Structure 1
Amino acid sequence: MKPMLLLLAALCGAPAFAQPPAAVDNTADIDNSGSGYQGNMTVNQAAGDMQQQANARAFAAGHGASASTQIRQRLNVPADPAMDAKASIGGTAFSHGSGALGVNQSAGAGTQQANALRISIGAQPQSIDDSVLMQQNVALLNNSDSAAISAGHRQVTTSDQAFTGGRGVVQLNQSAGVGNRMANTLSIRVAD
């Protein structure tokens, strides 16, 4: 009886080994999500390969308050520039919300996205220097020769109802393709 079970198990398992490897899905889709959010909401959605996304929030209150953020993204892996990619935000996604919203959506490969928000409430005013604006270090280390390789089809869409009726800070990075680099940085300092 045991040899019969072994034969049956071998026959039932064979089709699983004959399947081709799954293709990478390069489609990112957000539909009717996040509407009516309140407070701090962050979303990272990536489809494809080798994506880097970050949403950083820093809040500080007090006499010498100083909120800070620092994001460093490095990517040193080649990606296929001929791939098709699609990113979409549809319906009423993120509509009628209030607060701080950070959305990174990417389809494809080798994309780097970052949203940084810092808010300081202190007793003394502080100046904002260039280091605040340059604090994002988003660098694609491996560039390819685009003339030698044909590009795939890329599509990015956002519904006309998405993000409507909102209040506060909205940071959005949305991309489809290969090797995109995006960053949003907002720094607010308030003195009592």
Structure 2
Amino acid sequence: MRALALIAMLSAMPPAAADELSSMLGYLTRSRIDGEALAGASGAIAVNVAAGDLNQQANARAIAIGTHALALTDVRQTRRHDIGSAHDSAIAVIAGDALAGGSGIASINQTSGTGNASFNAVAIALAQQGIREADDDSTLSAAFASAGQQHGFDQGDASAQRRVASVESTALQGFEGVLQLNQVAGVGNDTGNSVSMSIQAGP
């Protein structure tokens, strides 16, 4: 009875209003970092924000200091045989003055949707004798290869889906340091950032 009443109500509405109501009743995944969130923050900043189902996020940091220093990160995200439904709307937005004027190391994973994997990795080595390279190329390749290879997500009708990933011009302004951002809106995406730094200490 309720289904019949809803159909009758939709048929009596103008097309624009009916479309708006249909979108409200759909599967919506929206994430937003806005206002003055983390504005002026300093130091080690890690943010994981997810809207939806079966999403994976990770932030990894390694710092080594010594006569012979070596810093490595190893990030592996795996999943198998997941089953999920496609969304009607996936929106990920960073707006306002978010992180404006901040400094340090900021790693952000922002995801809206289903079955996405994202990671940020930072390796810093400060050696007193010589420069020890923290090479993460192989780690980066392994992380991408192991993320999201086996899943059964319903992609749905792509033409009927709304997917938006955006950073407004006022956000992140004036940030100083290392800034990593994975921003995803959709289904079954794999993204990653890897930064390696090696520094030789003075005498």
- TM-score, normalised by the number of residues in structure 2: 0.76
Give secondary structure in 1 for the equivalent of 2:197. strand
| Aligned twin of 2:72 | 68
The farther-off stretch of 68-77 and 108-117 is: 68-77
Shift of 1:38: 0.5
Counterpart CA distance in 2 for 1:109 and 1:187 is: 30
Confirm or deny: 8 A CA contact 1:83 1:108 kept in the other structure. no
Q: Indicate if the aligned counterparts of 1:24 and 1:48 stay in contact, CA closer than 8 A.
A: no
Maintained 8 Å contact 1:78/1:142: no
- 1:126-151 residue CA offsets vs partner (Å, 9 max, x unmatched): 245543553534421235698x8412
Q: 1: distance between equivalents of 2:38 and 2:83? A: 34
Name the one with the larger helix percent.
2
2:101 to 96, 104, 107: 96
Which structure dedicates a bigger proportion of its chain to strand? 1
Whichever residue aligns with residue 189 of structure 2, its letter is N
CA RMSD of aligned residues (A): 2.3
In structure 2, what is the Cα distance between the partners aligned to 1:64 and 1:135? 26
| Larger mean Cα displacement after TM superposition, 130-139 or 108-117 | 130-139
Equivalent in the alignment of 1:176? 185
Q: 2:34 aligns with which of 27, 31, 35?
A: 31
Per the alignment, residue 155 of structure 1 pairs with 164
Contact 2:84 2:153 in 1 (8 A): no
Instruction: Give ranges in structure 2 of 5+ residues lacking alignment.
Output: 1-24
Which amino acid letter does the alignment assign opposite residue 28 of structure 1?
S
Q: Where does residue 3 of structure 2 map in the other structure?
A: none
Distance, in Å, in 2 between the alignment partners of 1:125 and 1:179 is: 39
Distance verdict in 2 for CA 1:97–1:145, change over 3 Å = closer
Distance in 2 (alpha carbons) for counterparts of 1:145 and 1:173? 21
1:131 is paired with a residue whose SS is: helix
8 Å Cα contact 1:52/1:111 also seen in 2 = yes
Percent of aligned pairs with the same amino acid: 36
Query: Where do 5+ consecutive residues of structure 1 fail to align?
Result: 1-21
Q: How does 1:100-139 map to 2 (within 5 A)?
A: 100-122=105-127, 123-127=129-133, 129=135, 130-131=137-138, 133-134=140-141, 136-137=143-144, 138-139=146-147
Matched, 1:166 2:180: no
Task: State the distance in 2 between where 1:88 and 1:43 align.
Answer: 14
Partner SS, residue 99 of structure 2: coil
CA pair 48-132 structure 1, distance change in 2 beyond 3 A: closer
Distance 1:25 1:149 in 2: 13
CA distance in 2, matches of 1:179, 1:24: 16
